[in-house]
Structure 1
Amino acid sequence: MMASAPAPNPRLGREAVVRAVGALLRWLKHHPSPAPEPIYLLVTLKTAPVRRFEHHLSLPLSPFPSIFLVADRLPDDLPDDIETLPSSALRSLPAVARRGLVLVDSRLKIPGSGKGAKGRGRVVPVDLADPAWAESAREAARRVELRVEAGTCRAVRVGHAAMAPAELVENVVAAVEAAAACVPRKWRNVRALHLKAPESIALPLYAAPGTGGNDDPKDAKREGATAVEQRRVKRRRNE
């Protein structure tokens, strides 16, 4: 009996990423904002997972333009790449978290922690007594979450408008490979991949053979807008 052929394992062409990144950064340059806009990888599956799915993807570079530390007592050896905020900033965490990754001294109480923390962006408690806290913070800044709760399209933050094109390309490629490796049935379940900023159209990166995902930009825009809008609505509810 002849063994069945292995399932095809498609790979995203790097040229497609370079084109999409270049086009999106040019669009963002002509539509500036007070803070660098986030950039998302949209992962559209053929079939939604039966159970809730969460996975952390590790990127080469932080997709956040800034790393903030909220503390009453600052460490003596504060790194140059970490900005400081007063503890009063905890009262406006949603607005602060949109600007970057927020580190909070573990001695301070984070408002709305636990079940109510959804929609507050990336807020990470840190132990400033640990000599390696800064490196741990940088590692946290490079991790993003891929979560599928319902539906088939989810947004993963992979960069921001102030990144260099080559940096964003590296992050997108790494995120695609990591996402395709961890979703149920891996590449066989990936229907389409797009790149998007909050107000831009969704730029196609990949479409599974036979799906026609790259041929209908209106569908791509609707899919991308749905995933990113879910994030924006959650943020507004917590302001």
Structure 2
Amino acid sequence: MAMASTPSTPTSRLRREDAVRAVAALLRWLQKHPTPAPEPIYLIVALKRAPVRRFEHQLRLPHSPFPSISLVSDRLPSDLPDDVEPLPSSALRSLPAAARRGLVLVDRRLRIPGGGGKAVGAKRGVTVPVDLSDPAWAESAREAARCVELRVESGTCRAVRVGHGAMSREEAVENLVAAVEAAAACVPRKWKNVRALHVKSPESVALPLYSAPGTSSDQDGDDNPEAAKRECAAAVEEQGRGKRRKKSGMGCN
């Protein structure tokens, strides 16, 4: 499943060894701070300049960044895949912690409370409507689970979910490298506009992956370390609230 660009390409500025080192350190930290469900892992993309217009891009990863896939339906398919956990419609109002950290598929015959058929907030997880009458719904769901969104509306720092704490180190590194290359290829001015890259979980510190040459905390206000820390925290919080504008269809564009 070779989807990601490798960091050996001439345009890449991320060294794979830096990604391996940061991911290994983050996974060790997560193992020492266990939670009821695997914590998400985020790539933090800090730009030098915010895009003039709002910008959205779908990134396809080699592996799903979600630890689980749940299906909320009162009429389950007879051939429900082993990797999809069934949940009753009543669960929509109060999902278990494991489901909130994963991808939640919702039968289109059901109404998502407060969601209007779109992805809803972190309390209910990242939800995607699914048409169970489609014979290929399960494969479409797995494809949707490999797709994440990079969206910049204001500011210069954004978080992209690239993994979870139960992933193997190699899978997490592959996802991280793929997300970095895809993000750097789609932002305005590409790598020239990338100020810094970090990887973190919601409660961990941000571990550095890349810093553009010439950027330092004493050059200008945009590189103030405390301001950058607050911006990264805000980016993770916003990403965790869910993608409210997510289209009802599954899969990457």
Query: Same fold, TM exceeding 0.5?
Result: yes
Cα distance change on mapping 1:217 and 1:51 into 2, 3 Å: closer
Q: Partners of 2:226 and 2:32 in 1: how far apart? A: 22
The yes-or-no answer on 1:122 pairing with 2:122 is: no
Cα distance change on mapping 1:220 and 1:203 into 2, 3 Å: farther
TM alignment of 1:85-100, pairs within 5 A: 85-92=87-94, 98-100=100-102
The answer to whether the 8 A contact 2:77-2:132 is kept is yes
TM alignment of 1:32-43, pairs within 5 A: 32-43=34-45
The yes-or-no answer on 1:209 pairing with 2:213 is: yes
- Whichever structure has more helix as a proportion of its residues is 1
Residue in 1 aligned with 2:236? 228
TM alignment of 1:61-72, pairs within 5 A: 61-72=63-74
Unaligned runs of 5+ residues in structure 1 are: 1-7
The answer to whether the 8 A contact 1:196-1:224 is kept is no
Cα distance change on mapping 1:115 and 1:100 into 2, 3 Å: closer
Residue 82 of structure 1 aligns to which amino acid in structure 2?
V
Aligned-pair CA distance for 1:228:
1.4
Aligned-pair CA distance for 1:122:
1.9
Q: Partners of 1:88 and 1:44 in 2: how far apart? A: 40
Match of 1:110 among 112, 122, 126: 112
Residue in 2 aligned with 1:176? 180
Aligned-pair CA distance for 1:227:
1.4
Q: Partners of 1:216 and 1:152 in 2: how far apart? A: 13
TM alignment of 1:159-174, pairs within 5 A: 159-174=163-178
Residue 124 of structure 1 aligns to which amino acid in structure 2?
V
The answer to whether the 8 A contact 1:45-1:191 is kept is yes
Q: Partners of 2:227 and 2:186 in 1: how far apart? A: 25
The answer to whether the 8 A contact 2:72-2:89 is kept is yes
Aligned-pair CA distance for 1:165:
0.2
Q: Partners of 2:118 and 2:143 in 1: how far apart? A: 25
The answer to whether the 8 A contact 2:185-2:191 is kept is yes
Q: Partners of 2:106 and 2:118 in 1: how far apart? A: 17
Aligned-pair CA distance for 1:90:
1.2
Residue in 2 aligned with 1:4? none
Unaligned runs of 5+ residues in structure 2 are: 1-9, 218-222, 244-253
Residue in 1 aligned with 2:220? none
Cα distance change on mapping 1:100 and 1:115 into 2, 3 Å: closer
Q: Partners of 1:217 and 1:150 in 2: how far apart? A: 19
The answer to whether the 8 A contact 2:120-2:126 is kept is no
Q: Partners of 2:66 and 2:82 in 1: how far apart? A: 16
Q: Partners of 2:69 and 2:80 in 1: how far apart? A: 12
Compare 180-189 and 226-235 and name the one that shifted more: 226-235
After superposition, what is the alpha-carbon deviation per residue over 1:48-69, rounded to whole angstroms, capped at 9, x for unaligned?
A: 0111111110000000000000
After superposition, what is the alpha-carbon deviation per residue over 1:159-216, rounded to whole angstroms, capped at 9, x for unaligned?
A: 0000000000000000001101111111111110000000100000001111137x98
Cα distance change on mapping 1:227 and 1:173 into 2, 3 Å: same
Aligned-pair CA distance for 1:11:
1.9
Q: Partners of 2:21 and 2:94 in 1: how far apart? A: 37
TM-score by length of 2: 0.82
Tell me the percent identity. Answer: 75
Q: Partners of 1:232 and 1:143 in 2: how far apart? A: 15
TM alignment of 1:24-63, pairs within 5 A: 24-63=26-65
Q: Partners of 2:203 and 2:53 in 1: how far apart? A: 31
Residue 233 of structure 2 aligns to which amino acid in structure 1?
A
Q: Partners of 2:119 and 2:131 in 1: how far apart? A: 19
The yes-or-no answer on 1:156 pairing with 2:156 is: no
Residue in 2 aligned with 1:3? none
Q: Partners of 1:59 and 1:116 in 2: how far apart? A: 22
The answer to whether the 8 A contact 2:117-2:129 is kept is no
Aligned-pair CA distance for 1:10:
4.4
Cα distance change on mapping 1:196 and 1:234 into 2, 3 Å: same
